[in-house]
């Protein structure tokens, strides 16, 4: 292929390249170590360089250089992977370029002409080719090397790759880092030393950027207690962001199924691309910053100026455009931002062509003017189409209503329309905030608190005149300052709706809440039972929730949300939060505020494991270490902060602060998000620093903080004294000086306002890995504690088995878009049942770990073992069942192992197995295995139920009576004997064992014949010759011949003996086998699982890939 001309110093490269051809202006070279001179030290050196150097040079053993006489400078112009390819290029140069070069007078002109010609050839080849996110040729080469080096499944998709160094101790190893959907992989080959590293994303507990004296900037990966460092990236921030996304994607997919299932974008791992992940990250940041619905995706970003009318200047910033919104955020420190829903747009015009201006007019007689917009004409046309398609007839018809006054609240306008449509369908939904019903403001009351409240309202009204009112208002530093001072009671519901983004959800889903209320009315679920139990516990001190009006509204909102989102349903703390929302917002507004909090602002807070709250607690601990190091030095255990702060995050301080103070915290939360809660938590600890440093234990520290929260007041609150006293009953007992909430919030912003939203999100991503892995460690510890009581494996061996069991569960999820195994992982189940495997996965582990896996009929044994363990017939087994079966095989006594083999050959475990493909012998396909694992054993349902009951009772007993085991019939005994023959294959005493089992079976058959004749005296007695014939026929059937003829003969014999079936009890078989010392030695010889485990750890991935 032709290359962009690059200068090459030939003198330093002479030892690496061999001259093949040369003329006056061109040189063809071959790389040492390739072709007929390959091998030896040169080949070793080249292999090393292949792993270190750039992709193009490492795969091109041939190249062509351009030279001019008497010059030491050469230019690379072509390379080739084969001699044929490079020869074709050489011939073209000789026939088309050489003759032309003779006309030039100077060497500079020759070089200039050659460079221009080569660039033209490259441009010509590039016509019509679409260059994607990577250079396609290089990316194809990387995929081939990735597949060759690591041998993963074909479905494993490479997302991207980077050149970097991997640090082994203090030695850097240059190589290539490959990021795929399920694995982080690294490969290096240096002077014969090969380094190959494969880490699955779900094993990573820490992923962070670090720096120290040796490594200026590196990426630290911690997996299963091992630390790995990667450095020398060209774009380390881009690499780290992508690694962070892939790790969090895998963790959510495998551990946090509830959240993942609602995310359809990442549901198929085969569709993940580098560009897609980058776009997704930008869209998430965009929707979170502007509080837009999660479905919005960022489509365009334009750097431009926005005219700020009340400040009379243009501010530089970025215009961000999605499907339904145009947003702007300034780049200077004024924090000016706006959100323009396209549903509000009535006109888009070219404002000032000379300055590339765009004017967007919205309802309410307001317009926004952007200038210096790149490609503004195209943008205007596009926005016209979008706003035209998103406009609805009722918007156009009601423009006059919405534009009567700039200070009209557009939220009230939308609600008026929504409620008008609801009057006919439902009269149960409350249309008033509870605060206006139970505490209406008295206009004649002019005490000091009411005067301050009126002054606050006036300040906001002035802001509305300057910045507009409603969803498209300008949000500036002045807006934030007013929020920090506390939102007036009359505006609180409106502004909560606005700042949270819930106003957009409500406007785009008219009538949705009313429909939910009607559908959920009368439903009876676990969530509704919990809601009923907690209704009276929600702000019981407030009069609104001492009446049926408030209780009914709270019930409707919580029940409707549980119906909308059954994966969350209802979680404690939701009742407290919703109660406060209902005080200041109308019922439908409170519902949409709850949606915004649960699904956007506090993601994963209100699920079974409250992962989101635990993540933010970890972020809080990290901030404490950064900002309050004196406190962390004093506290030996950081878990104290987690225990006390959980309620702060889950209830936004509502559960620990008086209601009049808590609402001011909620004001800040809806404006600044979780950042406001983190800042306030730091301020609380900082305020009580001196007292906390003198505390001797956690209980004393808890008391200090409780007294502090009781002393927090809101001196400007206009709430009636009765409500304030009810929420602060123990004021008279508190000796703590009063602290005003407004002062506390202001102090938290002054001291910790430099905490950036981007940093919080980065810490959230980083700590999510840690939190989920910590939960997984807890699950593992509980499972191992329970299982260790029933097995004889050492703790370390049992832990290794658990990791292999869990890994097998995950391997089934890696390469399937809709893996049924993902449905089996339910974190709400008891610890033992959170991870379960099916028959196919069990077979893989059986092949890797069982001491009986060398048998010819190992697939049948794996199937029968699985059916024995699957007592509830759901085609899944948990780790305890798996470990107990292995424990018998490795650590069981002679009787235990024989009893297990006996059970495997009688129902419900045993079922006749014949492969559909005779050429495969005893091996079963995946489909056959699943089919047989789902079959009901036996022919009579009554017997099967009896067997199942026996096995269930058996596990409950410590001592089992072997006399209770069912008898084994003729066909089952034949299969049992064949299994024993297979087990002995390859044993040093193989011949002795075969002879022993033949002796035992012959003896058992003769005993059975005699016993049957004694039990049936009326039947004609068999002659000795007949008995001998019967015994001989039965032994013939025990031969391990799997040919079709043998199978046919066996079925004939079986049919012939249906009329006089014989059977054996377990005691008979046990007693007979005990008489053979070789058999006893075989089953009692010690077996060590460690070697099998070590082999399984290296082979599990390859075994799964083959499957």
Residue 470 near residue 364 (C-beta atoms within 8 A): yes
* Higher pLDDT, residue 322 or 47: 322
| Per-residue pLDDT tens over the stretch 908-921 | 888 876 544 444 45
pLDDT reading at 704 higher than 50: yes
| Per-residue pLDDT tens over the stretch 705-749 | 999 999 999 988 877 665 664 444 444 445 668 899 999 999 999
- For residue 840, the tally of other CB atoms under 10 A from its CB is 19
Backbone angles phi, psi at 456, to 5 degrees: -60, -45
Q: What is the pLDDT of residue 49?
A: 55
Q: What is the pLDDT of residue 424?
A: 39
Burial (0-12, 13-18, 19+ Cβ within 10 Å), 285: middle
Q: What is the pLDDT of residue 409?
A: 46
Q: What is the pLDDT of residue 726?
A: 41
Residue 935 near residue 995 (C-beta atoms within 8 A): no
| Per-residue pLDDT tens over the stretch 101-111 | 877 778 887 88
In angstroms, how far is CA 272 from the centroid of its own chain? 13
Q: How confident is the model at residue 391 (pLDDT cuts 50, 70, 90)?
A: very low
For residues 354-373, give the mean pLDDT: 91
Q: What is the pLDDT of residue 1104?
A: 59
Distance CA(643)–CA(645), nearest Å, equals: 6
Q: Which residue has the tokens 């074709």?
A: 88
Q: How confident is the model at residue 394 (pLDDT cuts 50, 70, 90)?
A: very low
| Per-residue pLDDT tens over the stretch 221-232 | 999 889 999 987
pLDDT reading at 423 higher than 50: no
> Which of 210-214, 677-681, 1021-1025, 1101-1105: highest mean pLDDT?
677-681
Ranges 269-278, 316-325, 945-954, 1033-1042: which has the least confidence: 1033-1042
Q: What is the pLDDT of residue 444?
A: 63
pLDDT reading at 334 higher than 70: no
Instruction: Indicate the SS3 state at residue 389.
Output: helix
**Which among 390, 392, 370, 275 has a CA at the least distance from the CA of 320?**
370
pLDDT reading at 956 higher than 90: no
pLDDT reading at 676 higher than 90: yes
> Which of 676-680, 1012-1016, 1045-1049: highest mean pLDDT?
676-680
User: Which residues are paired to 179 by β-bridges?
Assistant: 160, 184
Distance CA(902)–CA(11), nearest Å, equals: 78
What does the block give as tokens for 1006?
């003769």
Helical H segments across 203-349, by residue range: 236-254, 257-261, 274-289
Q: What is the pLDDT of residue 228?
A: 93
Q: What is the pLDDT of residue 51?
A: 53
For residues 387-414, give the mean pLDDT: 43
Q: How confident is the model at residue 563 (pLDDT cuts 50, 70, 90)?
A: very high
Q: What is the pLDDT of residue 109?
A: 77
In angstroms, how far is CA 215 from the centroid of its own chain? 30
Distance CA(324)–CA(345), nearest Å, equals: 10
Q: What is the pLDDT of residue 434?
A: 84
Chain mean pLDDT for the chain: 80
Helical H segments across 905-989, by residue range: 926-933, 941-956, 970-984
pLDDT reading at 779 higher than 80: yes
Distance CA(298)–CA(280), nearest Å, equals: 8
Ranges 616-620, 1001-1005, 1056-1060, 1078-1082: which has the least confidence: 1056-1060
| Per-residue pLDDT tens over the stretch 249-266 | 888 777 766 555 556 555
**Which among 807, 901, 894, 799 has a CA at the least distance from the CA of 850?**
901
Beta 183-190 vs 739-740: how paired, if at all? Answer: unpaired
Q: How confident is the model at residue 135 (pLDDT cuts 50, 70, 90)?
A: low
| Per-residue pLDDT tens over the stretch 298-318 | 999 999 999 999 888 899 999
| Per-residue pLDDT tens over the stretch 111-131 | 887 887 787 777 656 543 333
Q: What is the pLDDT of residue 632?
A: 84
| Per-residue pLDDT tens over the stretch 467-513 | 999 999 999 999 999 999 999 999 999 999 999 999 999 999 999 99
Share above pLDDT 70 across residues of the chain, in percent, rounded to a whole number: 77
Length of the chain: 1107
| Per-residue pLDDT tens over the stretch 811-824 | 877 766 555 655 55
pLDDT reading at 40 higher than 70: no
**Which among 964, 1061, 972 has a CA at the least distance from the CA of 1016?**
1061
Q: What is the pLDDT of residue 760?
A: 92
What is the pTM assigned to this prediction? Answer: 0.76
For residues 591-609, give the mean pLDDT: 90
Q: What is the pLDDT of residue 261?
A: 56
Residue 186 near residue 208 (C-beta atoms within 8 A): no
**Which among 486, 376, 500, 533 has a CA at the least distance from the CA of 719?**
486
Q: What is the pLDDT of residue 623?
A: 94
- For residue 850, the tally of other CB atoms under 10 A from its CB is 20
pLDDT reading at 652 higher than 70: yes
Residues 6 or more apart whose Cβ sits within 8 Å of residue 92? none
Backbone angles phi, psi at 188, to 5 degrees: -145, 145
| Per-residue pLDDT tens over the stretch 827-866 | 767 888 888 888 988 999 999 999 999 888 899 999 999 9
Distance CA(598)–CA(868), nearest Å, equals: 44
| Per-residue pLDDT tens over the stretch 186-198 | 998 876 778 899 9
Q: How confident is the model at residue 14 (pLDDT cuts 50, 70, 90)?
A: low
| Per-residue pLDDT tens over the stretch 1017-1069 | 554 444 444 444 444 444 454 444 433 334 333 433 443 444 456 788 898 89
Q: Please provide the DSSP assignment of 804-818 as one string.
A: HHHHHHHHHHHT-TT
For residues 144-163, give the mean pLDDT: 87
Consecutive H or E run containing 119? helix 107-126
Beta 968-969 vs 183-190: how paired, if at all? Answer: unpaired
For residues 601-615, give the mean pLDDT: 87
């Amino acid at each position: 292929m032709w290359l962009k001309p690059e200068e090459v110093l030939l003198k330093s490269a002479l030892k690496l390249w061999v001259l093949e051809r040369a003329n006056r202006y061109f040189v063809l070279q071959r790389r040492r170590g390739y072709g007929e001179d390959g091998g030896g030290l040169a080949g070793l050196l080249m292999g090393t360089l292949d792993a270190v150097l750039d992709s193009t040079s490492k795969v091109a053993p041939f190249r062509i250089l351009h030279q001019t006489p008497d010059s030491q400078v050469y230019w690379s112009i072509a390379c080739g992977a084969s001699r044929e390819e490079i020869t074709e290029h050489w011939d073209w140069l000789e026939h088309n370029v050489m003759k032309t070069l003779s006309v030039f007078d100077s060497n500079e002109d020759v070089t200039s002409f050659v460079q221009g010609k080569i660039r033209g050839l490259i441009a010509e080849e590039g016509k019509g080719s679409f260059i994607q996110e990577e250079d396609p040729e290089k990316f194809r080469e990387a995929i081939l090397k990735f597949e060759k080096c690591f041998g993963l499944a074909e479905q494993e998709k490479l997302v991207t790759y980077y050149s970097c160094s991997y640090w082994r101790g203090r030695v850097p190893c240059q190589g290539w880092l490959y990021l795929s959907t399920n694995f982080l992989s690294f490969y290096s080959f240096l002077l014969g030393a090969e380094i190959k590293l494969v880490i699955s994303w779900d094993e990573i507990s820490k992923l962070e950027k670090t720096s120290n004296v040796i490594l200026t900037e590196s990426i630290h990966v911690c997996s299963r207690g091992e630390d790995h460092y990667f450095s020398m990236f060209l774009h380390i921030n881009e690499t780290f962001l992508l690694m962070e996304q892939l790790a969090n994607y895998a963790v959510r997919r495998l551990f946090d199924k509830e959240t993942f299932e609602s995310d359809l974008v990442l549901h198929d791992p085969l569709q993940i691309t580098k560009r897609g992940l980058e776009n997704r990250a930008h869209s998430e940041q965009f929707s979170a910053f502007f509080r837009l619905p999660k479905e919005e995706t960022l489509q365009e970003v334009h750097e431009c100026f926005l005219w700020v009318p009340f400040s009379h200047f243009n501010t530089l910033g970025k215009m961000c455009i999605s499907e339904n919104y145009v947003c702007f955020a300034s780049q200077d420190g004024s924090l000016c931002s706006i959100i323009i829903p396209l549903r509000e747009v009535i006109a888009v015009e070219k404002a000032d062509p000379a300055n590339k201006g765009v004017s967007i007019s919205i309802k309410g007689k307001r317009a926004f003017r952007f200038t210096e917009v790149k490609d503004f004409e195209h943008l205007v046309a596009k926005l016209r189409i979008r706003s035209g398609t998103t406009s609805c007839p009722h918007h156009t018809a009601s423009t006059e209503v919405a534009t009567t006054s700039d200070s009209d609240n557009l939220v009230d306008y939308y609600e008026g329309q929504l409620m008008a449509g609801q009057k006919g369908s439902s009269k149960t939904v409350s249309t008033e905030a509870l605060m206006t019903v139970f505490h209406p403001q008295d206009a004649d009351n002019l005490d000091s608190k009411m005067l301050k409240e009126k002054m606050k309202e006036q300040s906001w009204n002035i802001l509305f005149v300057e910045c507009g009112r409603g969803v498209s208002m300008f949000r500036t530093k002045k807006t934030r300052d007013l929020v920090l001072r506390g939102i007036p009671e009359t505006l609180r519901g409106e502004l909560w709706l606005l700042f949270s983004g819930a106003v957009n959800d409500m406007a785009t889903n008219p009538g949705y809440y009313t429909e939910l209320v009607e559908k959920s009315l009368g439903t009876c679920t676990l969530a509704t039972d919990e809601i009923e139990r907690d209704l009276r516990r929600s702000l019981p001190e407030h009069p609104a929730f001492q009446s049926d009006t408030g209780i009914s509204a709270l019930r409707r909102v919580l029940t409707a949300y549980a119906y909308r989102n059954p994966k969350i349903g209802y979680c404690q703390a939701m009742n407290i939060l919703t109660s406060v929302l209902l005080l200041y917002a109308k019922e439908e507004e409170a519902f949409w505020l709850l949606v915004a909090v649960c699904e956007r602002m506090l993601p994963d807070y209100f699920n079974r494991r409250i992962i989101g709250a635990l993540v933010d607690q970890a972020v809080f601990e990290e901030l404490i270490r950064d900002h309050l190091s004196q406190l962390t030095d004093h506290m030996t255990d950081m878990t104290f902060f987690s225990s006390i702060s959980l309620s702060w995050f889950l209830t936004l301080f509502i559960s620990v602060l008086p209601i009049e103070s808590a609402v001011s915290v909620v004001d800040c939360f809806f404006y600044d998000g979780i950042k406001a809660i983190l800042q306030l938590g730091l301020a609380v600890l900082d305020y009580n620093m001196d007292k906390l440093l003198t505390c001797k234990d956690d209980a004393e520290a808890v008391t200090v903080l409780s007294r502090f929260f009781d002393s927090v007041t809101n001196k400007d609150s206009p709430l009636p004294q009765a409500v304030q006293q009810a929420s602060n009953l123990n004021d008279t007992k508190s000796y703590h000086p009063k602290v005003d909430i407004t002062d506390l919030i202001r102090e938290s912003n002054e001291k910790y306002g430099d905490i950036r939203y981007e940093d919080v999100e980065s810490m959230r991503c980083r700590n999510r890995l840690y939190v989920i892995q910590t939960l997984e460690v807890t699950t593992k510890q509980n499972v191992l504690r329970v299982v260790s009581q029933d097995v004889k494996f050492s703790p370390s061996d049992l832990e290794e088995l658990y990791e292999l069991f869990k890994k097998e569960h995950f391997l089934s999820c890696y390469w399937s878009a809709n893996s049924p195994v993902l449905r089996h992982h339910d974190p709400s189940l008891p610890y033992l049942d959170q991870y379960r495997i099916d028959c196919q996965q069990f077979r893989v582990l059986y092949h890797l770990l069982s001491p009986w896996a060398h048998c010819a009929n190992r697939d049948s044994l794996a199937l029968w073992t699985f059916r024995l363990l699957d007592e509830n017939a759901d085609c899944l087994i948990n780790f305890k069942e798996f470990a107990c079966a292995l424990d018998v095989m490795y650590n069981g006594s002679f009787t235990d192992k024989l009893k297990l083999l006996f059970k495997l050959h009688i129902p419900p475990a045993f079922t006749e197995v014949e492969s559909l493909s005779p050429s495969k012998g005893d091996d079963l396909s995946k489909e056959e295995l699943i089919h047989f694992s789902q079959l009901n054993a036996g022919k009579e349902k009554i017997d099967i139920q009896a067997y199942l009951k026996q096995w269930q009772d058996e596990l409950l007993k410590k001592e089992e009576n072997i006399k209770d085991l069912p008898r084994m019939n003729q066909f089952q005994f034949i299969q049992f004997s064949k299994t024993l023959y297979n087990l002995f294959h390859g044993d040093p005493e193989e011949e002795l064992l075969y002879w022993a089992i033949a002796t035992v079976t012959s003896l058992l058959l003769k005993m059975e014949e005699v016993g049957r004749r004694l039990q049936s005296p009326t039947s004609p007695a068999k002659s000795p010759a007949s008995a001998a014939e019967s015994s001989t026929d039965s032994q013939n059937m025990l031969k391990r011949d799997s040919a079709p003829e043998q199978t046919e003969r066996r079925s004939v014999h079986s049919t012939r003996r249906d009329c006089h079936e014989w059977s054996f009890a377990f005691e008979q078989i046990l007693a007979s086998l005990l008489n053979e010392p070789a058999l006893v030695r075989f089953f009692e010889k010690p077996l060590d699982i460690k070697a099998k485990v070590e082999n399984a750890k290296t082979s599990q991935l390859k075994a799964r890939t083959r499957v």
